Structure 1
Amino acid sequence: MEKRISYWFLLGLIAWGIIILLRRNGIFIPVINDYFTDGITVPMYCYLIEYIMNTVLGYHWKCDLKFVLTSVLYLSLLFEVLCPRLSGDFTGDFSDALAYYTGGILYYFIKVRPLIAGK
């Protein structure tokens, strides 16, 4: 049986698409443009890697705290240190790295190892 893609992941893709469309039309919503997109980056990245590993490649893998924190570090270095040095389209900002970290920690404690047990 093939696993379906999470509705939360699809909702994140739709949100990113809408935000990109708004940006291209000159509409910038500060909190959403500055922090929301960065906050959902790590959860979407972790989910996508887990989906590919398990569904496409056939492994039985679940990300752990080390993977989440490594993803935060990787994405922070890539988008907040390296990319701004290579292109003027990117800006290096510590608050963006903090948003990656916050999104990653929330993902870990909600999806990977929930603090509150569900039904």
Structure 2
Amino acid sequence: MKNSISCGFLLGLAVWAFIIVLREKGIVIPVISNHLTDFITLPMYAYLVEYIMNDLLCYRWKPDLKFIIISAVYLSLLFEVVCPILSEKFTGDFWDVLAYFVGGMIYYLAKVRLFTN
């Protein structure tokens, strides 16, 4: 891993910021506003943990399939089950759960399997 933040991670942050601005202006583009952020959440989360572990803490680590699956389950339970119980701002949605898992699997296959050192 390089000693700089990935362009993909920065692009993900920009997408999140753009979607938040659109939501605050009352502009909702259904698939983009509802599922794109969930799709990129797990890859960004996994990348951030990998960056912290390897580049900041100098520990040799990369996410394995178990980490990706457990993270997807955790995010799904937190944002699709617990948060909707605690706040009306959140809604539980099967498609969001699917987006977490698909995003995680794509990250795993692309980053961990295809570009292994």
Pick the TM interval, shorter chain.
over 0.9
Q: How do 1:1-40 residues align onto structure 2 when only pairs under 5 Å count?
A: 3-40=3-40
**1: CA distance between counterparts of 2:79 and 2:43?**
16
**5+ residue gaps, structure 2:** none
Aligned to 2:52: 52
Aligned letter for 2:100? Y
Residues 35-114 of structure 1 aligned to structure 2 (within 5 Å):
35-114=35-114
Cα offset for 1:61? 0.5
Separation in 2, partners of 1:82, 1:16: 22
Question: Structure 1 length normalisation: TM-score?
Answer: 0.93
Shift of 1:35: 1.2
* Dislocated runs of 4+, deviation >6 Å: none
CA-to-partner distance for each residue in 1:78-114, whole Å, 9 max, x for gaps? 0000000000000011110001000000101111112
What is the identity, as a one-letter code, of the residue corresponding to 2:6? S
Aligned partner of residue 4 in structure 2, secondary structure: coil
Unaligned runs of 5+ in 1: none
Cα deviation for residue 55 of structure 1 reads 1.2
Identity of aligned residues (%): 61
Q: Distance in 2 between matches of 1:3 and 1:112?
A: 18
TM-score by length of 2: 0.94
